[in-house]
Amino acid sequence: MWSADMHAKRAITRVCKTWYRIGVEFLYENVILRSIGQLPAFVRILETRRELASFVRRLEVSCVIPRGYGLLFSTELEKLFNLCPSLSHFTY
């Protein structure tokens, strides 16, 4: 279900510029990160395109943090929290 939903949200952003502006908000409002590598990648996107960070309302981190990655995880998560002023729900 999640995959089909994500596919539909991405498709909406590709229709035209008007739909992109509307669709991108829905694309970023509920973010699920399923691997440790997605966290720094997502932070880089939001650092590059700060306007996207305001759309993030819910964040779910659903991954195992391998031994030796704890510092990376906490550092990147702190950056993400600081970037997303509209974040109201966090699940780990």
Identify the sign of the CA torsion 14, 63, 35, 56: positive
Q: Are 13 and 20 in contact (CB under 8 A)?
A: yes
Q: What is the model's pLDDT at position 18? A: 84
Question: What tokens appear for 16 in the block?
Answer: 């035209």
Q: Each residue of 12-68: pLDDT tens digit? A: 778 888 888 888 898 899 999 999 999 999 999 999 999 999 999 999 999 999 999
User: Which pLDDT value is given to residue 2?
Assistant: 56
